[in-house]
Every structure is written in C-alpha cells, then in structure tokens.
A and B are shown apart, each in its own frame.
Chain A
C-alpha cells in the first residue's frame, strides 16, 4: 500500500488529534489497559502514523530496552506496509528516536534535562512525544500539569501516554476513564481504552476533544497483529 493510502486509510484519522496539533495547540492523548493487553502496540501505531506524515517522534520507554522498543516498531511497520524501499525505511527511521529509562532512574527532572539537551543542541526536535510506562500511580495532577507546561515550553505539540489500569480497582471518571487516571482525565484531549470482550479486542474512545466521531465509538484491534482497524 502506498504511503499516502496508508495515512488516509488509518483508522486513527477519526481521532483528529494531529490536525489540531498542527494548528499550534497542544494535545495530550492516553492509552489505557490492563497489563499486557497491547498499549505499547497502540502507541507505536500512533507514532508510526505521525512519522509517516512527516513528523518526528521521540519515544520514551520507561523500563524497556532500545532493542525491544525498536523491534516493536519494525514488527508493526512490517505488518502495516507490504513493501518499503530502503530509502523510505531509512527516512522513516530518521524521524524516530528512542529514549529509555530504568523505572528507578526516571524522573520529570531527568526527562527535562535530556529533552533540553536534544532540542537545544539541535540533535532532535520531536513533534510528537510518546511516553510509555509512565507511573500514574505515583504521580498526580500536579506532576501532569508540570509535564504539560514543560512540553509547551519545548514546543512539543502532541504527547501520548500509556497507563496501566487494574482489574481490582473499579473507580472510573464520568467518561469511564479507569483509575489511576480517573481524576485527571480532563487533562487529556483523547483517552483510549483497550477493552477485551467476548474474544474481540475493542479500542473504546472514551474522550475525544477533536474527534470526527462521537465519544463511545469503538475501534477494533486485530489480536494477531495488534493493528487498529475500523469496526
């Protein structure tokens, strides 16, 4: 499938997030699910979509290695695209940088330092930031707001997070956003929830400020490839 077709056919188009980001506003997105259900796969597809559209993505992986993160991208890209020339593959790879942290090493301060190094020294200026593995249990509204301010200061328009929900914690927000993000869901323009039901993997759109569809719309995940598809 040609790159242009890939972009226009991507089910993520319905979210409308990046359109708004291109207008200069800042947008936060959140993918939630219980452990092991495919949050990273979703984030990688979001990142790849952004990269295919010419944006630069910084993927921050907390508690993961560069090689494993890179393998995710290679794996999902190979499923999304039948054939990619060496030149296209290199072009896409150059739009991505992976930054990994050990859980015990990661802090907002350290992330700020590293990001500033990259941007101020003209090494890599991301248009989209993906933070996979952020500990929402330990970090509340204040931390999120500070992070949002930092991103605005650095000129990063789109930020996506993953968050782990727990089966034994039934708390949710009015929009159905589960704990631990139920009290801060207003900070996010988009919240997606991976919801396995009756042998089908659904991707529920719980919040969507700029969506072309109504909140509550569901996308589907192909469980064998973890690719998003329209329901």
Chain B
C-alpha cells in the first residue's frame, strides 16, 4: 500500500468504439512489466488482450465490462480502468469516472472525434475529471492528428494542444517529436521497448519550433514563472513547462494531446510519462461526502490515512467465490478483518478478504489506504454504497444512472432454463443498474430493459454461456409514454356508504399539461373542504393513475393535477377513500384532456464513407427519421438524424448491407415526441385487443 499519495494515479481509459483503448492498455501493462507478452484484441493466437477477460469480449473483439488493473511506472503507482466504448455499456464508463482522478481520452487519428467520444467527454466533464488525449492509430491510412486536435476544440470545446508531433504518418509513421524537450523519440526493439532520442529531423525543425512557440504561448497562461521566462526569451527549463501544463490540465482548462500507435508500439512510454506528469494524484482532486448526522451537510474528504475510513463501492461482480465489490478509498485505512458500516443500510460488515485486481486475476493484500482501488470479497451491498468506519456516518454522492430505452420479452426454453435465468437476472441486475428486469403481470412475460440492442444481446448470450439458461427473445418493446395536451376539469365523488363503515371522498379540480417535468401536484384547497391529512392521499391517488394510461397502457408523463375543491365525511373519509376519489377523478378527466401517445426519439449518428451518404439518409428517412444534417470530414461523412426508436430495430443489418459494412452508427435517447396518427391508432388497437383477450 502506498502512503505517499503524490505518486498514485487512478486513471480511466475511455473512447469511442475501436479507438484502441484495450490495445493501449495491453501495451501499458507490457511496458510496466505487468505482463510479459503482448496479445492482440483480435489476435491470431486466440489468446486475446489481458483486459478482455470475458470470452464474449475476446470473440467479438469488444470490451464489455470495464476491467481494473494497476501498474508501476517510474515510481508512480497507476490504477487503470479500461472501459467500453459502446454507448450500450455507458454505465461502466460512469462507474469508472466516478472514482477515478484522471482519464486518457483515446481517439482514432482517422475517425477523430466520434459520437461516443462526445458521450465519454461529457461524462468526464460531469465528474470534473482532468484528461489527456491520445491520438492513436497514426500508422493508419488517412491518419491526421492535427485534424483530430482541431475536432477536440470544435466538437468537444476543449483547449487542446499537441505536445508532440508525429514523425511521418501512415506507413511512414516512425516516431514522435517531443515539443517540450525538443527531441525526436524512436521506439526500437521487437515491441518498441527501447527508446532512442535523437535530434529533430531537419525537415521538421521549423514546424516544431513554430508549434512549440504556440504551445508555450498557450500554457504560459497557467504559470506566471513560465510567462516571464517566455517573455525573457532564451532557454526554458522543461520543469516550468511540465508544471504549467499540469496546472492547466488539473484546472480542466487545458487538454494536452499526445500521438502514437499502440498497435505499432509507438508513443506509449511518453504517454505514461504524461500520466505521471499531468494527471492528478488523489490529493489534487477534491471529493465531497455528505454528513448523514448533520443534515447531509457536504464536507471535503481528507485523503488522510489517519482519518476515519470512508470508501465507495462502485462496481459489483458476482463470481465463483461470491460477490466481488470494487471500492475506492477516500480517507482512512482498511485492513483485512476490520468491521465497517454500510451508511445506506446501517449494517455492519466484516472485511474477510482484500484483493488488488489485475483484470480477472487477484492478488491478496493486507490493507489499503486513501486513493486505492481494491476489491472486497463477501460484502453484500449495492453499487454506490458508502462504507465508513465507526465514528462517522457519511455518504459519497452516487453515480448518474441513465434510464434504459429498450426492452425485450425473454422466454426460457425449458424449466431448467427458467431457474437458471432467474439466477442470472438476479446477478446481472445487481451488477448493472442500467439493466433491469420485471415480470409483466398481465402477460406473465419476463421483460429485460437496457441501453441498446447490443446491451441486451450480450446479457442474453451471457445467460446462455454462464448460467446455461437458453432463452428466446420476443419482439423488442419500446417504452412509450402518454401525456395530455389540454386542460380538463374533474369533479368526482367516491362513495360507498351501504351500512357499517363506508368510504367517502370528493375531489374537484383540473388536469393540465406540463411543459417540463413528469408530474406535479398542486393543492389549492381552502377552507379545509378536504382535511389536510387527506391531501397527500389525493396526491398518491393521482400518482397511481399515472402508472398506466388509457390509450395504450403506457406510463403517463407531463401532467399537473390541481385540486381546488372537495368534500369529506366526518366518519367515512379516509386515506383510501381519497386515493380512490383521486383515481376516479383522474380517469374521468384524462380522456377529456386530449391524451396522446409519445415515443422515444433517438439521436442517431451514422459514420461512413461519403459515397454512401445518400443511401444512408434514404434509409433513415424510410424509418420516419428526420435528417438534421451532415458533417463532411473529407472522405467520411457523419449523418445525424432523429429517428423513433421503434424504427431502429435491425438497423445495423440494414446499414451493413447498404454500406458494405463500412459504416457504423450509434444512437442515444434524445426526447419523447408525439407518434403519428397511424402509429397511435395501431398502438391503441393493439392495446384494446390485448385487454379484450384477458
């Protein structure tokens, strides 16, 4: 365990699909001697990269689960979490960024800033994570690091500047020029492990000098000392430059950009130097917790090993030996055998085993301290739980959990599969809060919801492989909504007074549409016509009604319920009576409020060769899509459109055949919009038929 936190770096590696994150991590592990042989993500040797430990990851060549490992580089301890690029697995990126102090944003030097790069950049900004950028694949045809740097500025609004220049590009990519030391670096040896420094090639000297001058002008804004040195002219101590870049990076006002090719083993060691030089250690980052014994007042965690323990569980994994809980410690020390408290449940937990992770391998450790990322065995908790030692009751703020957008009905093929499926779903839903499941009480079907088709596909495949639970997937279901478009009054009396204790409640008021927000209850009762204790009952009744609309059974949203009159009975009025009165009132007013059905609209971005632009746009138009626009990147075009989710199923197959497999698309939820009349009629008809059949 490291006590000097200044040498600790907790970093994540995030990017768009296929930018080379996992290949990069493989090289990092190799150069830091964590592994002794490099294996490719889709390598012919069939072994696969270390961080893609899941079979499914190796087969598909994609990272599905984020994997954690650590390495040491020139006296620094670096905890690394490699994360997936597909937007379907966004929860993994959210998790990692919540507990990390810095990040490497990996970009392809050909593709540049792509749609998921924008998403992960937004995620990094949400958690105020300083980042450095690594422009990978400089050996590829079409590589253009300057264009990518410009995109970082324009599309991500980052103050990005290249700290290096590539020596050659594409097939001629040979090395890099370091603009701080003004030396050329070449990567010799079978795996680029031997660095050789030379003078900058003569034909690059002028450009290198110009770029360095521009860089110094920019970063001198972060250091008065450097600014003075620049103004005075003459030689500048590299240490001044490193400090200025670090200051800019930590303040989130500067993004240093590095170049290389992980696949060709070039540029990785300088990137590791940059991680140490420019990304924060745990004490550079301010983290807050809420004091649960003091009205949830926010306070700063200290990073002090002598303080009372506070740690956050950010990832759960259910494995062969039980649940593995990944934690990040913020202050204090945790030792094997210690007892800690889950501040959410109040339960005491004894820590049996502590391990440090290296992808799917574990190393037993005796203790961990501030800034550490380790895993615990045998601790039953939820992702986002905070653990503290005796003497403090605190909670770290939790993660942003995006809502699922797509559901599937799954049917186990036989009884054995049914039992195994339940176990699998129990585990997966615990590990991944964006993967949800429930049983539809009307149909008895098990419904799973997730962030995209790929997300659900992967879990269905894992059910089959890891739990021997083969299931058939039914038609994907779209999460429709209903809302109202007009104001409608209600005046409803719920009465059951036939002898004995009865029920009585009258509510009057109106429903009206809300532009923003899901639901609002407004109490305008005067004169006590509805006793105060039953006002919340009315609210409850309305909320219950919002769960299912009359048009197609979808949840209702965007409704304001206002009560301004009513009546009660001294004996027969009760909580239940007013809940039922409110529900009756809602039912009566709802259809008068001109309800409509809304569907989720996705923001779709399709990237591919420009020659297919017309075909792509046509395919989206055919899916009731609205083309927003196109971005020309030379040979590549990105088409952006808003398309109803219900029309996007199976689009990947269509796109593949339209573009000879050369285009790819991403989609994320944009908004809800009213469905066209024909679609509405179809949904209503289907719903009525289903109701009739019951």
Contact = CB atoms under 8 A, between A and B. Distances in A.
Given A65-B154, A65-B155, A86-B674, A98 B614 contact: no
Contact of B629 (A87, A94, A97, A123): A97
A113 B609 CA distance: 13
B631 A120 contact: no
A66 B629 contact: yes
Interface size grouping (class) on chain A: 20 to 34
Contact of B617 (A106, A118, A120): A118
Contacts of B150: 102
Contacts of A121: 614-615, 617-618
Contacts of B426: none
Contacts of A59: 629
A90 B632 contact: no
Contacts of B632: 99-102, 105-106, 110, 114
A69 interface: yes
Contacts of A136: none
B631 A100 contact: yes
A122 B618 contact: yes
Given A114-B613, A121-B614, A70 B629 contact: yes
B406 to A, nearest CB: 23
A65 B614 contact: no
Contacts of B610: 113-114
Contact of A123 (B154, B618, B637, B674): B618
A124 B673 contact: no
A113 B610 CA distance: 10
B682 interface: no
Interface string B622-650: 00001111111110010010000000000
A102 B633 CA distance: 7
Contact of A124 (B154, B627, B637, B640): B627
A189 B257 CA distance: 47
A124 to B, nearest CB: 7
B598 to A, nearest CB: 9
A106 B634 CA distance: 8
B463 to A, nearest CB: 39
Given A65-B155, A114-B613, A117-B613, A70 B628 contact: yes
Interface string B654-694: 00000000000000000001100000000000000000000
B621 interface: yes
Contact of B630 (A70, A86, A90, A114): A114
Interface residues of B, number: 24
A113 B673 CA distance: 34
Contacts of A90: 626, 673
Contact of B633 (A87, A93, A105): A105
Residue from the set B613, B621, B631, B637 with the largest chain A CB neighbour count within 10 Å: B631
Contacts of B618: 121-123
Interface string A140-182: 0000000000000000000000000000000000000000000
Nearest to A106: B632
Nearest to A101: B632
Interface string A105-133: 11000100110011011111000000000
A86 B558 CA distance: 14
Residue from the set A70, A87, A99 with the largest chain B CB neighbour count within 10 Å: A99
B154 to A, nearest CB: 6
Nearest to B621: A123
A123 B628 contact: no
Contacts of B631: 65-66, 100
B674 to A, nearest CB: 6
Contacts of B626: 90, 93-94
A123 to B, nearest CB: 4
A117 B628 contact: no
Residue from the set B610, B614, B673 with the largest chain A CB neighbour count within 10 Å: B614
Contacts of B154: 65
A101 B637 CA distance: 10
A99 B630 contact: yes
Nearest to B612: A117
Interface in B585-610: 610
Given A105-B634, A123-B614, A86 B629 contact: no
Contacts of A70: 628-629
Contacts of A105: 632-634
Contact of B640 (A66, A101, A102, A106): A66
Interface string A55-77: 00001000001100110000000
Contacts of A87: 674
B614 A117 contact: yes
A120 B150 CA distance: 33
6 shortest A-B CB distances, which residue pairs? A98-B629, A121-B614, A117-B614, A66-B629, A123-B617, A101-B632
Interface of A: 59, 65-66, 69-70, 86-87, 90, 93-94, 97-102, 105-106, 110, 113-114, 117-118, 120-124
Given A70-B628, A94-B626, A121-B617, 17 more contacts: A66-B640, A69-B629, A70-B629, A87-B674, A90-B626, A97-B628, A98-B628, A99-B630, A100-B632, A105-B632, A105-B633, A106-B632, A110-B632, A114-B610, A114-B613, A114-B630, A117-B614
8 contacts: A65-B155, A66-B629, A70-B629, A87-B674, A102-B150, A105-B632, A106-B632, A123-B627
